[in-house]
Structure 1
């Protein structure tokens, strides 16, 4: 327990020093927000129709055909609300006139009033209109098949109408029908990119400085072992990455209406990714002898991995060959998992392979960093 407290104390002190840097909030918050806005507008999301479209029906019909027609409209992806008069608020409204039944039984044409609220989903309206056309066609087909009989007796009993042709449409296997876009793509993408950049820069540079100034060596005069110091440095850099992610997510929630699908699972993905970057930062800080080398390497790796990994543009739109190459980027596995959660209704089982790859990468990098970790030059 005491050993854990000492490790936590050193990690917390490292985090305090890094956060205390004058430029910290510019590079970890202000500058990433610029990227969020830029890429969020560049890949602006199109209108997303709700899963279930809504239709309000005012049935003024004095006969029975109005209710029969409403039953024909019903569909799994359509919610029908009934009202006695035109309501003050609605998304889409259908009005059946009082002589609806009389005109059908007299075999006369008629017009139905269909209204759409300004600002309502155009895609949902199109879905409702399509269903209305289908229902009208179905009723007309039934009337044609019924023949010249008395239509006033049609609803008392008639042969069941069956579709002569049934058409089912589907996309080929592995076809991408949803393209991640908007701020729900740019905020996670920017978060992943800047975790890479800031953790490697701040984490690597502070490891280098502590080694050169003898801070790491002096720690060994305390009850801390070399392994304890390494674990503390690793934890401090992980805390930095996760803290930055939390700040950007909070900003995204407040100002951009960020939706991550499942927030706990998204945070789990980010936490494992931040652990891998923390280990990488300690490794780079242990190998490099100059601050400029660390900064240059961090910028190069972060931008290369971000571009390949889908942080700037969604990898769902790139050719399959590029996606295969992107698998060398840690960012790819994080972004792919976050896209599954937000855009493809994925759950824990869907992102488990991504978590496995990121966790394995974290372990490998931690082992390599542990061997490269030096107390003195």
Structure 2
């Protein structure tokens, strides 16, 4: 029995490698995707030293220079590593690459900011942002901090210059710091992966699924349409041997994709797979087994090549995006993190991040491994039940 299964798997594997399109997707496209996605997501972790831009709208030209309060708020924003770009009706109408509305973060100063402040009236400063998740929380914190610091600066100025008629924060800004806060990590700093550290494992997970569902399912569908499976059913081979052989053949293809992707990640993109590489390989083997079973299942019930291609592409891309293959799931909104926690792609990516970047141990990802193993078994038996020879 085992000999027949291996014979079918070997033939299926070798036959698949004769397809030029498959070879391109196996060996060329991963490098392209690793490079493109890795270079475009290098700043997603939030650890970049590059300043964040914030557009500040003056109610009238020169407000941030003439109004001490507005000027001090801008100063405090700059101290929080924010790059302030000041706009007003005059300069925003000029020909320039970016206008006020083009910015992700926008802050509006009211017209009577200084007058209302001096008279003790309540002031409303408007802020809008299209950022989300941790980035939005961080930006809001910096802006609130800048406003409260400005109020504190004003109180210090009044204490030093009780009789002053004009507010000038220069003296306050140049005061020596009597209190210095030293901050250090209580343990090892865990940085959210970005760039190639995120892209290579994530895209590899996506490609294992995509290769299995597209090439694997389509080859099985074509064999069913051309009568190859029907002739195999008439041979001395048992139904179980044929199904397991086909599944194993698809698994060999995904195994080749896994080995190649990990080697390319290490040699070209300098990915360190961590001290738990054996555990990572185990996770990817289970992931490959699950998708190989899905390929057999899809190839059995599909009614056309177009249906196979559409389902494989849409399902793979959707699962990759929602599971954290394209970007670190840790930077996304809570609802998306919750969704990823119930998706197979989310289990794989969470396990790999934990082992590669967050110092986790194999015991910490056992729930994900068990869930993936159970799902693989369910997918396999579903494929066996739905398998069709014609």
TM-score (norm 2): 0.62
Counterpart for residue 14 of structure 2 = 16
User: Quick one: structure 1 residues 221 and 336, their matched pair in 2 at CA, closer, same or farther if it must change by over 3 Å?
Assistant: same
Aligned pairs (5 A) from 1:1-377: 3-44=1-42, 177-261=190-274, 262-376=276-390
Q: Distance in 2 between matches of 1:196 and 1:218?
A: 29
Structure 2: unaligned runs, 5 residues or longer:
48-180
The answer as to whether partners of 1:337 and 1:354 remain within 8 angstroms in 2 is yes
Q: Distance in 2 between matches of 1:320 and 1:19?
A: 42
Cα displacement (A) at 1:284: 0.8
Q: Distance in 2 between matches of 1:343 and 1:169?
A: 20
Q: Distance in 2 between matches of 1:282 and 1:184?
A: 32
Q: Distance in 1 between matches of 2:277 and 2:198?
A: 14
Counterpart for residue 123 of structure 2 = none
Q: Distance in 2 between matches of 1:43 and 1:347?
A: 27
Instruction: Spell out, residue by residue over 1:90-145, the C-alpha distance to the aligned partner (whole angstroms, 9 max, x if none).
Output: xxxxxxxxxxxxxxxxxxxxxxxxxxxxxxxxxxxxxxxxxxxxxxxxxxxxxxxx
Other structure's SS at 1:313 match: coil
Question: In angstroms, what is the RMSD of aligned CA positions?
Answer: 2.3
Q: Distance in 1 between matches of 2:182 and 2:265?
A: 43
Aligned residues: 254
Cα displacement (A) at 1:44: 2.2
Q: Distance in 1 between matches of 2:257 and 2:263?
A: 10
Extract structure 1 runs of 4+ deviating beyond 4 A.
45-48, 166-171
Q: Distance in 2 between matches of 1:177 and 1:333?
A: 19
Structure 1: unaligned runs, 5 residues or longer:
49-165
Cα displacement (A) at 1:344: 0.7
Instruction: Spell out, residue by residue over 1:3-30, the C-alpha distance to the aligned partner (whole angstroms, 9 max, x if none).
Output: 1011011011111111110112211221
The answer as to whether partners of 2:5 and 2:242 remain within 8 angstroms in 1 is yes
The answer as to whether partners of 1:180 and 1:316 remain within 8 angstroms in 2 is no
Q: Indicate the structure (1 or 2) with the bigger Cα radius of gyration.
A: 1
Q: Distance in 1 between matches of 2:292 and 2:305?
A: 17
Q: Distance in 1 between matches of 2:211 and 2:226?
A: 22
Instruction: Spell out, residue by residue over 1:326-364, the C-alpha distance to the aligned partner (whole angstroms, 9 max, x if none).
Output: 234321111111111110112211221111111111011
Other structure's SS at 1:23 match: helix
Q: Distance in 1 between matches of 2:224 and 2:376?
A: 23
Q: Distance in 1 between matches of 2:245 and 2:341?
A: 30
